[in-house]
Amino acid sequence: MTRAQLKQAAKDQLRGNWGWAICLTIFAWLVNAVIMDLNRWIWTGKDFTYTVLRFNKDNLIQGYKPAYNLSEIIVGLITGLILWGVAYTILDFVETGKMEPWYSGIFSAYSNGRFKNSLFTLFMTNLFVSLWTILFIIPGFIKGYSYAMTPYILKDKFSADQTDIGATEAITESRKLMDGHKMDLFVLDLSFIGWGLLGLITCGIGFIWITPYYRQTKANFYRSLVANN
C-alpha cells in the first residue's frame, strides 16, 4: 500500500470510532504523565507544574535530569509497556475491528499473560537502541527504525498463542522485516510533519486527533508489510 492508501485506510477505520481512539490516546497520556510526574516529585521534590511555573536553571537541572537512576529506568519500562498496550489494542482493531475498552486497552501488555514477554522484549529493545545511540547517534536512529515493528510482531505471536517467546525473538524478526523498508517508514513519519506543526500551533490540542491517526496509519503499515512478506 502507498502512503496515501495507508492514511486513507486509517481514516476509514477511525470514521465513527474517533471517540474510542481519542479516549485511548488521552487516557494513556494521563496515566504516563502521572507516573512520570510522581517519579519526578519523589526525586526532586518538584512536579512538572512547579518546574514550568518556576522556570530557571536550577529547576531545569533538577526537573529534567538524565535517566541515570534505577527509578527512571523502571518508570521508562512501565510507561513504555502502556504505549505497547496501545499498539496491541490498535493492531487488534485493524485486524478484527474489535475495540477493546479504552480504559483496559492501555494495559494490554500487562494482562492475559503478556507481561513477562512484553517486559523483557521492551527492555532489550531499549537496551539495544541505547547502546547503538551511545556509540553513534545515527546508527542508533537507524536501529530505532529496525526495531519499530517489534511490539506488533509480539502482538501477533500472542494472538497465535505463542508463550515461549525469547527476549530478542520479536526484535530479530522486526529487523528482518524492516530490511529495505526503514526508509519507507521514515518517509511515512516525515509525511506527518505538517500535522505535527498544526498540533504545535494549537498548543497541543491538535495532537488529540493527530496521535490516533498516526498510530492507526503505522499499524496499517505493519500489516501491509507483513502481507507483502
Q: Which residue has the higher pLDDT, 136 or 215?
A: 215
pLDDT tens-digit map of 150-164: 999 999 999 998 878
Task: Give me the mean pLDDT over the 202-214 stretch.
Answer: 94
Query: pTM here?
Result: 0.88
What pLDDT is attached to residue 47? 62
For the ranges 46-50, 63-67, 152-156, 178-182, the lowest mean pLDDT is seen at: 63-67
Give SS3 for 158.
helix
What pLDDT is attached to residue 146? 95
What pLDDT is attached to residue 61? 45
Task: Give me the mean pLDDT over the 81-100 stretch.
Answer: 94
What pLDDT is attached to residue 68? 43
Cα distance between residue 98 and residue 91, in whole Å: 10
Residue with cell 502502556: 82
pLDDT tens-digit map of 123-157: 999 999 988 888 777 888 899 999 999 999 999 99
What pLDDT is attached to residue 63? 46
Q: 173-182: long-range contacts at Cβ-Cβ below 8 A with a sequence spacing of 24 or more?
A: 173/149, 174/146, 174/147, 174/148, 174/149, 174/150, 175/146, 175/147, 177/149, 177/153, 177/225, 177/226, 177/229, 178/145, 178/146, 178/147, 178/148, 178/149, 178/225, 179/146, 181/225, 182/142, 182/145, 182/146
pLDDT tens-digit map of 54-71: 544 444 444 445 544 688
What pLDDT is attached to residue 72? 83
Cα distance between residue 29 and residue 14, in whole Å: 19
The yes-or-no verdict on residue 228 having pLDDT over 60 is: yes
Q: Which residue has the higher pLDDT, 95 or 51?
A: 95
